[in-house]
Structure 1
Amino acid sequence: MEKKLIGVDLGGTTAKIAILTTDGTIEEKWSVETDISDEGGHIVQNIGDSINQKLRDLQLNKDIFHGIGMGTPGTINYETGTVKGAYNLNWAKEQKVATDLKNITGLDVYLDNDANIAAVGERWQGAGEGSANVFFVTLGTGVGGGIFAEGKILHGAKGAAGEIGHITVDTSPEAYACTCGKKGCLETIASATGIVRVAKDLATSFASESELKSIIKQGTEETTSKLIFDLAAKGDKLASQVVAHICFYLGLACSHIGNMLNPEKIIIGGGVSAAGEALLKPIQSYFEGMVFPAVRESTSISIATLGNDAGVLGAAWLALPAE
């Protein structure tokens, strides 16, 4: 039987798990609730137990697997296979994730950052189309990034490569404070929460008629990034102003990536990317006006195509044997 891969995409709510072929076909997919009690002490055990049970249910021998690839939040020590600082998992202290999961399952375990594996997943089976150089931007509650350069994941000296969310894009005195301790980070403007913050601030000085302004003022429904993009699509002037504002800063950040790294693809994923062309077109327009000609001709921007499967696909790629 052809050997297989297991991919694990660990998040604060669930761990998504999949069994895949070496060509990236998902054969089985399921999830396990992320139990963060007792300082996250049950998380790895629950994942390992679930994998063992699934292999028993499917009557699959562990000998047919190359190993388990796993993406996780937090700071990863790639030499020891440990993780710490994943506060949404209650992993403040160092966790021996690779060793513990291997002891439970008997399979080799390969770890990487969750943003990095999403980048690899899109590069391998999604919008990256197998490109050797891809930068992945994820727009969700925060803003993250992952770099796949010259055929490899780029980690940096302390595993912080690709942290596009903390590029300083606003140097004005009114710049928003970021959770990282700086001010003016891209994350404060272009994350799902940042977009809502921008909308509420711009609404205070917006003088024209606007459904978005009325919703914000009266609180008739929850203001979300999706609502803002939907109203912009209908021609709401305030919503359109908000979209233009955040897309300018995203275009600026992407231009920095393009001018420094010249990837073949910059791929935008995460929940905010569901806005599709309404997000992509203005970013492309700003980007093209901010990069020099060689980059404009060789680096393209696109929306991610894999959705929630990017993580398990990228994680499984980690377990592929070296060519």
Structure 2
Amino acid sequence: MQEYCFGIDVGGTTVKMGLFRTDGELLEKWEIPSHTENEGAAILPDIAKAALGKLEERGIDKKDVAGIGIGVPGPIDANGVVPHTANLGWGYKEVTKELTELTGLPSKGGNDANVAALGEMWKGAAAGHKSGVMVTLGTGVGGGVIINGKIITGAHGAGGEIGHIHVDDEVPGACGCGNHGCLEHVASANGIVRLAKWMLEQNAVKTVLDPETMSAREIWDAVKDGDTFACEVAERFGKYLGLALSAVAGTADPEVFVIGGGMSRAGQIVIDYIQKYYVKYVFRGCRDAEFILASLGNDAGMYGAAKLVIEE
């Protein structure tokens, strides 16, 4: 029986690497830099070198390793092919094929948000559930949809791109994807600041928040302190997310929504604002979906990537 596997979470600055037992126990985790120069040519060779080095260090035979799972930022199809990933410098790249050739180990790949969702469903806050949606509220709004234990990737690897559901026709500016009115534009950590600044421009009111320097964390701190304006921002934030997630629920009917990312550190209050509007807008049959805070933090991607190569 193969006892070990690797979970790899590739980011634009660092690669998070984890050596796991196939029962989900994390034995060791470490990071290596993401060398994105020269179109990211060194990223996969660096990963392979680090993984093989870890096996040698621990005296683990390759035949005892189920494989390497890898999460990457951006779309990746069922064959492990990335069409383009800007922040890694990659153009078209056959990621899993190359990783297998470099290591001699089976490999499977997934989008980073999707594998983080899988990690939370497997060993995180949603453990015990089979169908769920993870929403990552960070610099952007990421998403992952898991149905019956399987990632929904879609025809182009773009399944679960919750951040690009259209929710707004008022706040000016384009989303990073080029469209206007995306959830990410108004409900990410950057988006809620953008939203607050725009709301202040529409109606200058008294608030503890400084429009020149405020951050998402400061907005939520002000909400907790009862700042009237900050609470109005939180209401609008909650409406956007509640509306978007009600649409997701009408399609996927999850048991649970897992809220993660940097903004989730504000705690239960974030869920309270989202759930209030979710219940208002969602189809009655999906109203009882549970909302919980993610628990694996930055390790979720490693766990989910490892799960990719572990057969049920």
TM-score scaled by length of structure 1: 0.92
Aligned length: 312
Give the Cα–Cα distance (whole angstroms) in 1 for the partners of residues 96 and 249 of structure 2. 34
Deviation at 1:2, TM superposition (A): 5.9
Task: Quote the offset at 1:78 in angstroms.
Answer: 1.8
Please give the secondary structure, in 2, of the residue aligned with 1:127: coil
Q: CA deviation at 1:244?
A: 1.4
Task: State how far apart, in whole Å, the 2-side matches of 1:296 and 1:66 are.
Answer: 39
Question: Where does residue 180 of structure 1 map in the other structure?
Answer: 177
Distance in 2, Cα, partners of 1:291 & 1:141: 26
2:32 alignment partner in structure 1: 32
Q: Which amino acid aligns with 1:19?
A: L
Instruction: Quickly say closer, same or farther: Cα 1:23–1:166, change in 2 above 3 A.
Output: same
SS of 1:20's equivalent?
A: strand
Counterpart position of 2:242: 251
Mean Cα displacement is larger for which, 96-105 or 225-234? 96-105
1:76 match: secondary structure: coil
Aligned mates of 2:290, 2:264 — CA distance in 1: 16
- Confirm or deny: 8 A CA contact 2:117 2:146 kept in the other structure: yes
Aligned to 2:92: 94
AA aligned to 1:87 is A
The answer to whether residue 11 in structure 2 is matched with residue 11 in structure 1 is: yes
Task: Please list the CA deviations of residues 93-145 of structure 1 after superposition, one character each: whole Å capped at 9, or x if unmatched.
Answer: 21122122212221111111111101100100112223121111111111121
How is 1:70-219 mapped onto 2 (pairs within 5 angstroms)? Answer: 70-79=70-79, 81-91=80-90, 93-172=91-170, 174-212=171-209, 215-216=210-211, 219=212
Q: Distance in 1 between matches of 2:164 and 2:130?
A: 25
For the residue of structure 2 that corresponds to 1:267, the secondary structure is: strand
Shift of 1:177: 1.9
CA contact (8 A) 2:238 2:276 kept: no
Distance of 1:253 and 1:75 partners within structure 2: 21
Q: What SS does the aligned partner of 2:281 have?
A: coil
- Counterpart residue number, 1:305: 295
1:314 corresponds to which of 301, 304, 307: 304
Asked if 1:271 is matched to 2:250, the reply is: no
Whole-angstrom CA distance in 1 between matches of 2:37 and 2:205: 49
On the 8 A contact 2:243/2:282 being kept in 1, the answer is no
Q: CA deviation at 1:319?
A: 0.7
Which structure 1 residue ranges, 5 or more long, are not aligned?
none
- How far apart are residue 90 of structure 1 and its match? 0.9
Checking the alignment, whether the CA contact within 8 Å between 2:187 and 2:237 is kept in structure 1 is: yes
RMSD: 1.6
- Whether the aligned pair in 2 keeps the contact of 1:206 and 1:238 (CA below 8 Å) is no
Using the TM superposition, give the Cα deviation of residue 84 of structure 1 relative to its aligned residue in structure 2, in angstroms: 2.6
* Contact 2:6/2:19 (<8 A) preserved: yes
Return the alpha-carbon distance in structure 2 between the equivalents of residues 183 and 7 of structure 1.
35
Structure-2-length-normalised TM-score: 0.95
Counterparts of 2:204 and 2:112, CA distance in 1: 42
Partner of 1:233: 224
Inter-partner Cα distance in structure 1 for 2:284 and 2:199: 34
